Amino acid sequence: MPANFLRTSQIAQAVGVHPNTVRLYEEWGFLPPIPRTASGYRCFTPAHLEQMRLARIALQWPYPGGKQVVVDLIHQARDNHLDEALALAERYRAQVRAEQGHAEAAADFLEGWAQGQRSDDGRQPLLIGAAAAQLDVSRDVLRSWERNGLLAVPRQPGSGYRLYGTADLGRARVIRVLRQAGYSMTAVLRMCRQFDAGQRDGLRDVLDTVDPDEDIYYVTDNWLTTLQEAAARAQAILEQLQRMQATAVSPTAKESI
């Protein structure tokens, strides 16, 4: 192998992955064509290394707002269309920021409700169908929230029908807003328990703080932190593309072997 080329193991070591991961990224189309020696050894260039770094930064789950734009920007960079890749990276950063905005707005809504700023005073208790229609959720969703401990709805004497009063509707509305903004059922339940225990301040932090004895099953169990990490990755994608653009070396440039 010529001295100016890099081996698979060198690429893997530089990026901090197993050599098989490099081969998989090639197989999945995240790297540009890699020339080979007569004996079949891969010959990577420094530009291949930078593309591998980009793919490694970008391909980290979750992808707030959707993954396709991330895959597209990697493909554009692979083909040395760096201006297009940068535009997509900007779009992805905006996408993540939008998700952060939804999550923060939901947390603000929660805090307002907890301080008594949200109410439906004067409303008559509603049966589950009317409550579901008002909240724009299904009856099954309301039943699920009750089964999972998020709600405790009183029943009508005799008939046993659920009756959603002012407090129940307000709480259900907060739960709906939080769930639609991406918070997991576990995070919302954690918050509800603290609220029921009398806590009114700092519920935003409760949403994002996993209890010591609580396993994290979903990234949405601490969604605000997850989104902050995704925003940092989105910024790192942009910076890596800018470095690649500054070098202006095409990863598809042919070199003699």
Q: What is the pLDDT of residues 75-105, one digit of tens each?
A: 999 999 999 999 999 999 999 999 999 999 9
Q: How far is CA 151 from CA 120, 145, 193, 251, in A?
A: 17, 6, 10, 56
Domain range for 186: 99-224
Residue 3 domain-assigned? no
Residue 41 sits in the same domain as residue 120: no
Predicted confidence (pLDDT) at residue 120 exceeds the cutoff of 90: no
Which pLDDT score is estimated for 217?
72
Q: Are residues 192 and 108 in the same domain?
A: yes
233 assigned to some structural domain: no
Residue 257 forms part of a structural domain: no
Q: Is residue 235 part of a domain?
A: no
Instruction: Look up the CATH number of the domain holding residue 179.
Output: 1.10.1660.10
Same-domain check for residues 66 and 105: no
| The pLDDT of residue 257 | 42
Residue 42 dihedral angles phi and psi, to the nearest 5°: -70, 140
The pLDDT score that the predictor gives to residue 136 is 94
Residue 149 in domain: yes
pLDDT at 253 over 90: no
> Is 18 found in the same domain as 34?
yes
pLDDT band at residue 254, thresholds of 50, 70 and 90? Answer: very low
Residues 186 and 120 in one domain: yes
**For the residues 62-81, what does the mean pLDDT come to?**
97
Same domain flag for 216 and 118: yes
The answer to whether residues 216 and 147 belong to one domain is yes
User: Does a structural domain hold residue 237?
Assistant: no
- Look at residue 143 and tell me whether its pLDDT is greater than 70: yes
pLDDT of 193 > 80? The answer is yes
If one compares 100 and 254, the residue with the highest pLDDT of the two is: 100
> Are residue 106 and residue 203 in the same domain, yes or no?
yes
**Rounded to 5°, angle at Cα 14 from 11 and 16:** 100
| 52/41: higher pLDDT | 52
Confidence at 220, pLDDT banded by 50, 70, 90: confident
Residues 123 and 208 reside in one and the same domain: yes
Main-chain dihedrals φ then ψ at residue 6, nearest 5 degrees: -110, 145
Number of domains into which the chain is organized:
2
Return the higher-pLDDT residue of 2 and 222. 222
